[in-house]
Amino acid sequence: MGIPWRKIGGALKGLLPFVPFVGGPAGAILKVISTSVLVIEDVVVGQPSATKRQRAIDLANTMLVIAEDQTNRDLMDNETLKNAVGAVVDAEVALRNAHAALSSVVDDLQADR
């Protein structure tokens, strides 16, 4: 019996009903991680980046454990998934930092008009 990806995606969508469901179950996992980064950036203030990174990973993993409970599958025993969660957290943070830098450049250009 294969992994019930549709059920896993549905479980994660249920956890984050305010986030549109795109990209199937993998997209749902990406949304979980992205939301975790956003929540941690808003809540964990004044902590080093490494601490925020770990908290975002912990929060994403907690939501994935809930998906495990609903699907009766052991997702968190998958080393590839664990590594992917950390990589997506890093990519999400890099994207947010790049966006902030671009916004700063645009603001400066608009101020020079």
Tens of pLDDT, residues 20-39: 445 667 777 888 888 899 89
- Between 68 and 63, whose confidence is greater? 63
- Whether the model clears a pTM of 0.85, i.e. scores above it, the answer is no
Number of folded domains in the chain?
A: 1
- Between 5 and 110, whose confidence is greater? 110
Opening angle at CA 112, ends 107 and 113, nearest 5: 105
11: pLDDT strictly greater than 70: no
- Between 45 and 14, whose confidence is greater? 45
Q: Look up the domain containing 12 and give its range.
A: 5-111
Looking at residue 42, the DSSP 8-state letter turns out to be H
Q: Quick one: pLDDT at residue 19? A: 47
